[in-house]
Amino acid sequence: MGLCLLGASGCSVVPLEVVDAGSMSLLVDVATDRDPARDVPAPRDAGTPRDVAVPIDVPVPTDVPVTRDVPVAIDVPSPIDVPVTRDVPAAPVDAGCLPEPVYPDRMGEPRNAAGQIRYCWPGEALCFCDRDNDCYAQAGYVSRCPSTPTDAGSRPDVPATDTGPGTSGDPVVYGGTFPSGAGRRTVTLQVNGNARRVVLYVPSTPAPSPALMLLFHGTNGTGDDLLDETDAQAVANANGAILAAPFSRHRSTGDWDHRTEDTYWETWPNVDATANEDLLLTRAIIVEARRVYGVDAGRVYALGHSNGAFFAATVASVLADRIAAFASSSGGLNRCANTWSCSFMGSGSTCAALRGRPGWCSCSGPEKPVSIRTDGRMPPGYLTHGTGDDAVTVQYTCELEARMQAVGAATQTVLRDGDGHDLPRSFVSSAWRFLSTFRR
């Protein structure tokens, strides 16, 4: 077989050597292992050049060597010499993870191009990914991937290894510290220029990565109330959990839950996590508890009674990326003008039994203390209420149950037939059995 080459003296036949394609070995050149200057993309549908016949009447320059089938490897830079651009993920390692490029959001959390949080890579050991495909590193996590989301930023007072949901990189500014060591004490944090008191309880043998329970008192109460009036400390001792019970502020005016000035938690309409003073305090407590006690960011729970129950629901909804679940005693969801607009009381052990009975209120205003999340991230809730409560109607807890079920959030409702506006001594232990089954 020959090829006619057209030269100065006419056409001369040059013999061609037929190569058996089955005996050839090909070098596959991975994109990240190539010199970008030498990388010439081929047309997508052109096929391989070897399959295209060369017309016999087209002259082929004899002085241009054909190097298509001769790989040159000695001057190809290794992968570490070729920067991987932000939108091109590196190759999987050990077939178990696919590292993704991330960027820090306004809260300092590392997110991928799809907006999902990435503190670790899906498929790796000790990498927990929730139902939203946000992934959080658990204690002992070590990445197998060649890159990790270290460009997400972090607060100076949070260790670099702090890799939990919503806290590493939280830009909340505060002063003061939590003390190390076991026991109960009251400390002060400076948050947004305000001195805020917090009652802390650390058991003598805390868990290696303890859970954190945030306890919120009712109107005109103190941070000591839930520790003194419930079995919270016994629960903390039995489970190695940390308790943090802050004090609310005195407000010079009333709101939808208070007729006049009182000491209470701020909720609707100001539920901005960057402007609500009590939400800023809650954020600071979580960050400081993680820094000092190594709290597991996947097991932070909010519990409250009465006005504190309304605030616990607010914390759960607004700070859903930090709260695993919440517990509400004598609180709920109010769509009436104010708390005292409805005074329904009844007898029964379920909301289905109470709904529709005489005195059931019909309200259609905005959701208070907070709008329940509809994006699939509303934390589960343990809800308890006395059906004879004449201060905060049990109807509000039934409304909260129905709204959470409507958005697909898990609930457990315990109605105490005939009880009033009471804080059960067993509130924390009963709630803990529900709360502890969830992590963020």
Q: Looking at the domain assignment, is residue 160 inside a domain?
A: no
Q: Which of 16-20, 296-300, 360-364 has the lowest mean pLDDT?
A: 16-20
| Total number of domains in the chain | 3
For residue 172, what are its two tokens?
């909340």
One-letter amino acid of 113: A
Length of the chain: 440
Task: Give kind and range of the element (H or E) at residue 225.
Answer: helix 225-229
Same domain, yes or no, for 363 and 402?
Answer: yes
Say what the pLDDT of residue 197 is: 98
For residue 439, what are its two tokens?
């992590």
Task: Give kind and range of the element (H or E) at residue 325.
Answer: strand 325-329
On the question of pLDDT at 46 being above 60, the answer is no
Q: Looking at the domain assignment, is residue 159 inside a domain?
A: no
- Which residues neighbour 267 within 8 Å (Cβ) at sequence distance 6 or greater? 255, 257, 310, 311, 314, 368, 369, 370
Task: Give kind and range of the element (H or E) at residue 251.
Answer: strand 249-251
Q: What is the pTM of this model?
A: 0.65
One-letter amino acid of 424: P
287 touches 273 (CB < 8 A) = no
Say what the pLDDT of residue 162 is: 36
Q: For 376, which DSSP code?
A: S
Residue 312 to residue 363: CA distance in whole angstroms: 22
Residue at which a domain ends, from 17, 50, 78 = 78
Q: Is the peptide bond before 269 cis (omega within 30 degrees of 0)?
A: yes
pLDDT tens for 195-235 read 999 999 999 999 999 999 999 999 999 999 999 999 999 99
Q: What percent of the chain clears pLDDT 70, i.e. is strictly above it? A: 71
Same domain, yes or no, for 409 and 270?
Answer: yes
pLDDT band at 136 (very low <50, low <70, confident <90, very high): confident
- Looking at per-residue pLDDT, the higher value among 318 and 56 belongs to 318
Same domain, yes or no, for 330 and 226?
Answer: yes
Residue 167 to residue 1: CA distance in whole angstroms: 73
Q: Is 101 helix (H, G, I), strand (E, B) or coil?
A: coil
For residue 308, what are its two tokens?
């504190």
For residue 392, what are its two tokens?
């905060």
Measured in degrees and rounded to the nearest 5, phi and psi for residue 353 equal -75, -30
Q: Looking at the domain assignment, is residue 162 inside a domain?
A: no
Same domain, yes or no, for 294 and 376?
Answer: yes
Residue 23 to residue 63: CA distance in whole angstroms: 28
- Which residues neighbour 236 within 8 Å (Cβ) at sequence distance 6 or greater? 201, 203, 213, 242, 243
Same domain, yes or no, for 57 and 96?
Answer: no
Same domain, yes or no, for 110 and 211?
Answer: no
Say what the pLDDT of residue 363 is: 93
Q: Is 232 exposed, middle or buried (0-12, 13-18, 19+ CB in 10 A)?
A: buried
Residue 32 to residue 44: CA distance in whole angstroms: 19
Q: Looking at the domain assignment, is residue 163 inside a domain?
A: no
One-letter amino acid of 353: A
- Looking at per-residue pLDDT, the higher value among 77 and 327 belongs to 327
Same domain, yes or no, for 134 and 198?
Answer: no
Q: Looking at the domain assignment, is residue 415 inside a domain?
A: yes
Q: Once rounded to an integer, what is the mean pLDDT over residues 10-23? A: 46
Residue 236 to residue 187: CA distance in whole angstroms: 19
On the question of pLDDT at 309 being above 70, the answer is yes
Residue 169 to residue 342: CA distance in whole angstroms: 43
Residue 407 to residue 141: CA distance in whole angstroms: 33
Same domain, yes or no, for 388 and 407?
Answer: yes
Q: Looking at the domain assignment, is residue 167 inside a domain?
A: no
Q: Looking at the domain assignment, is residue 35 inside a domain?
A: yes
Say what the pLDDT of residue 146 is: 54
Residue 394 to residue 388: CA distance in whole angstroms: 7
**Scanning the structure block, which residue is given the tokens 């320059």?**
61
Same domain, yes or no, for 244 and 382?
Answer: yes
Q: Which domain holds residue 21?
A: 1-78
Residue at which a domain ends, from 31, 52, 78 = 78
Residue at which a domain ends, from 78, 101, 129 = 78
Same domain, yes or no, for 256 and 320?
Answer: yes
For residue 50, what are its two tokens?
């070897």
Say what the pLDDT of residue 101 is: 80
- Say how many Å lie between the first and final Cα of the chain, rounded: 72
On the question of pLDDT at 55 being above 90, the answer is no
Q: Once rounded to an integer, what is the mean pLDDT over residues 326-339? A: 98
334 touches 174 (CB < 8 A) = no
CA 135 to chain centre: 8
CATH code of the domain covering residue 379? 3.40.50.1820
pLDDT band at 137 (very low <50, low <70, confident <90, very high): confident
- H helix intervals, 271-355: 277-293, 307-318, 351-354
Same domain, yes or no, for 116 and 239?
Answer: no
Q: Looking at the domain assignment, is residue 168 inside a domain?
A: no
- Looking at per-residue pLDDT, the higher value among 119 and 420 belongs to 420
The DSSP secondary structure of 407-428, one letter per residue, reads: TT--EEEEEETT--S---TTHH
Say what the pLDDT of residue 105 is: 67
For residue 188, what are its two tokens?
């002060």
Q: Which of 34-43, 47-56, 370-379 has the highest mean pLDDT?
A: 370-379
Measured in degrees and rounded to the nearest 5, phi and psi for residue 337 equal -65, -35
Residue 372 to residue 254: CA distance in whole angstroms: 23
Same domain, yes or no, for 326 and 422?
Answer: yes
On the question of pLDDT at 22 being above 80, the answer is no
Q: Once rounded to an integer, what is the mean pLDDT over residues 30-49? A: 42
